[in-house]
């Protein structure tokens, strides 16, 4: 046995500690993986409900209540993102499916068409959330994402049954500058989107975040107040929303939705 004050002992002891710690971290990561995945799914579901106006911003709800509200009000559908048609791919569970996780899988994604939203690849299969009401589907919630100033922005936008009127918006993942671009997560700014129109009369994408103050939705339906001191983030939101409402994104699906052939 080496002496306790020898260099050999110090190296052996440090190596043993590193190995034990690595094993503990690995075991913990494997053991917590399913819980982390469930928490991430629950977080997405809560943000779907926020976009749809089914829960209030800032209200802390227990997991069981979020699941209850979600299951009672939301149906999940899968679509072929290129055509907008309903699809049911084998091996995909709509409840746990996150399109962001398959972007780099060549078997489940494709190269994105030229765009200014910072998107390199798109999933072959998209997910949509139908908000149920007394007379059927009342609105649809769509995942949106794109490049921001410091990283990807991920959120949801809800449209009325007309496939045009915005019912709500939320961003649940962003790395924008605190106090400036990060204001895209502020419920007060997100509330400015309600009642705006995603498309013009010819159903061309029209929503944009301007520099300055926009008018009320009934008089200025396609513009939203800019974020003070955060022009890059404001432009990034305009670009990603424009992409997802175009024929490169949800355009084909929303045409079917408006015609009543999507569900």
Helix residue ranges per DSSP H, 56-108? 63-73
pLDDT for position 135:
87
DSSP designation for 175: -
> Strand 166-173 to strand 121-123: parallel, antiparallel, or no bridges (unpaired)?
unpaired
Distance CA 161, CA 138 (A): 5
pLDDT digits (tens, 9 = 90+) for 91-123: 999 999 999 999 889 999 999 999 999 999 999
Q: Is the pTM of this model over 0.75?
A: yes
Residue pair 196/221 in contact by the 8 Å Cβ criterion: yes
Residue pair 241/224 in contact by the 8 Å Cβ criterion: no
pLDDT for position 262:
82
CB atoms under 10 Å from CB of 177, counted, come to 16
Give the residue among 55, 65, 251 at the shortest CA–CA distance from 159. 251
pLDDT for position 30:
46
Q: Which residue stretches of the chain have pLDDT < 50? A: 25, 27-30, 32
Distance CA 183, CA 178 (A): 8
Distance CA 82, CA 85 (A): 8
- Supply angle C-alpha 192, 193, 199, rounded to 5: 145
pLDDT for position 217:
97
């Amino acid at each position: 046995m080496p002496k306790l004050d020898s260099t050999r002992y110090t190296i052996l002891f440090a190596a043993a500690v590193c190995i034990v710690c690595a094993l503990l971290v690995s075991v913990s990561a494997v053991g917590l993986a399913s819980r982390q995945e469930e928490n991430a799914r629950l977080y997405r579901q809560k943000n779907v409900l926020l976009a749809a106006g089914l829960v209030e911003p800032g209200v802390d709800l227990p997991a069981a209540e979020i699941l209850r509200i979600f299951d009672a009000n939301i149906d999940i559908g899968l679509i072929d993102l290129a055509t907008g048609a309903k699809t049911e791919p084998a091996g995909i569970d709509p409840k746990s499916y996150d399109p962001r996780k398959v972007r780099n899988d060549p078997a489940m994604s494709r190269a994105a068409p030229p765009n200014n939203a910072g998107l390199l690849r798109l999933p072959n299969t998209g997910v949509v959330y139908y908000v149920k009401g007394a007379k059927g589907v009342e609105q649809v919630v769509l995942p949106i994402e794109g490049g921001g100033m410091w990283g990807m922005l991920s959120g949801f936008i809800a449209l009325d049954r007309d496939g045009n009127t915005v019912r709500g918006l939320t961003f649940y993942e962003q790395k924008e500058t605190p106090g400036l671009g990060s204001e895209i997560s502020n419920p007060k700014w997100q509330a400015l989107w309600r009642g705006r129109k995603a498309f013009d009369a010819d159903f061309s994408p029209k929503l944009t975040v301007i520099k300055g103050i926009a008018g009320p939705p009934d008089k200025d339906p396609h513009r939203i107040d800019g974020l003070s001191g955060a022009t890059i983030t404001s432009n990034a939101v305009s670009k990603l929303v424009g992409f997802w409402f175009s024929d490169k994104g949800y355009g084909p699906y929303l045409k079917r939705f408006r015609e009543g052939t999507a569900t």
